[in-house]
Amino acid sequence: MSGYVEKEVKVLNVNPEEVKNALLSLGAEKVFDDNRVFTTLDYDDLRLSKAGNEIRLTEEGKIKLSYDGKIAGGKETIKLVVSRKQEALDFFNRLGLNPVAEVKSHRTSFEWEGIDFDLDEFPQLAPFLEIDLGDSSLTLDGVLEKLSLKSNEVVTLSTKEIFKKFGLDYFDLFRTPGAPK
């Protein structure tokens, strides 16, 4: 497994076609365009976390551990890549960690100038664009200007927190059968 600490922002209420066209006109490379399934696991018993932290496992085998960190916005995300999702779920089950929510979404990903862009479309939520500047020398303001997104709201919230911002309860919407309330 390899680890990576994400430092991303999300640009809310974007028009997917306009974002795609703007990125392609800059010369960005499309690297992913498909549906995904997120499985969120409950891990209160591990005592690693405070409220709001979570473990999510994506269809493509990325485990994302979000926790209270020391970056702007107070959250950090570590990605671990595993080769088989079901084996990871079996491992977590042995630790007493079980799915509490599962959601299908569509993601279109681009790379440009060392920056990762993920355009996410979730049910019941306006599309948003994740931007991970990584080690790029470009500034967020400069990137937003190039994409004509300077007037959009930019947040450092998790997807679950974005649902809450718009009055939606992620776990009520996507709770797995038998998961506790």
**What does the pLDDT profile of the chain (181 residues) look like in tens digits?**
344 445 689 999 999 999 999 999 999 999 999 888 877 776 543 333 333 455 666 655 566 666 555 545 555 666 677 777 777 778 878 877 778 888 889 999 999 999 999 999 999 999 999 999 988 899 999 999 999 999 999 999 888 889 999 999 988 899 888 877 7
**3-174: which CATH topology?**
Hypothetical Protein Pfu-838710-001 (2.40.320)
- In this prediction the pTM is 0.76
Domain positions in the chain: 3-174
The CA distance from 100 to 172, in Å, is 10
The CA distance from 125 to 165, in Å, is 10
